[in-house]
């Protein structure tokens, strides 16, 4: 089985020693992703803007791996304040649409106090992808 690593150019990746996603056979493991604009280093203030940006970063990494949001089978949401989770529900529901994954929400501190949500996914690529 070959393993392929996908980077998004985040400043955190080389600093901590990880990559955005790892493709191992039919599985795609996407690291916890926050709503940080990797080009500018800016972090939106609202949890919903951070959620939307994190989902876009995840979707791009999945596409590079030959998968999409419909292939996500497991998601972990980590938020410092669980009260911020409900405003994200419409975005999450729209993102996963007719293919909702198994999910867990965890309340925990994040690496930067400005972060309000971190999303980690595991996807299973269709055969032949």
DSSP track, 11-37? THHHHHT--SEEEETTEEEEEEEES--
Q: Is the pTM of this model over 0.75?
A: yes
Question: What pLDDT is recorded for position 95?
Answer: 97
Q: What's the domain count of the chain? A: 1
With residue 58 as reference, give the H or E element that holds it: helix 47-64
Q: Is 65 left (phi over 0), alpha (psi -120 to 50) or beta?
A: alpha
The domain of 99 spans 3-124
Mean pLDDT of 39-49: 95
Inside any domain, residue 129: no
Could you tell me if residue 116 is inside a domain? yes
pLDDT reported for residue 129: 52
Residue 66 lies in a domain: yes
């Amino acid at each position: 089985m070959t393993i392929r690593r996908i980077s998004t150019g985040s400043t955190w990746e080389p600093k901590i020693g990880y990559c955005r996603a790892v493709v191992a056979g039919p599985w795609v493991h996407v690291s916890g992703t926050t709503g940080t604009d990797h080009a500018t280093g800016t972090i939106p203030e609202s949890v919903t803007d951070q959620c939307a940006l994190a989902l876009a970063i995840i979707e791009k990494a999945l596409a590079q791996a030959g998968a999409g949001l419909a292939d996500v089978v497991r998601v972990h949401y980590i938020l410092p304040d669980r009260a911020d989770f409900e405003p994200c529900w419409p975005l999450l529901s729209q993102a996963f649409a007719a293919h909702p994954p198994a999910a867990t929400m965890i309340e925990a501190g994040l690496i930067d106090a400005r972060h309000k949500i971190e999303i980690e996914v595991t996807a299973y690529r269709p055969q032949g992808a």
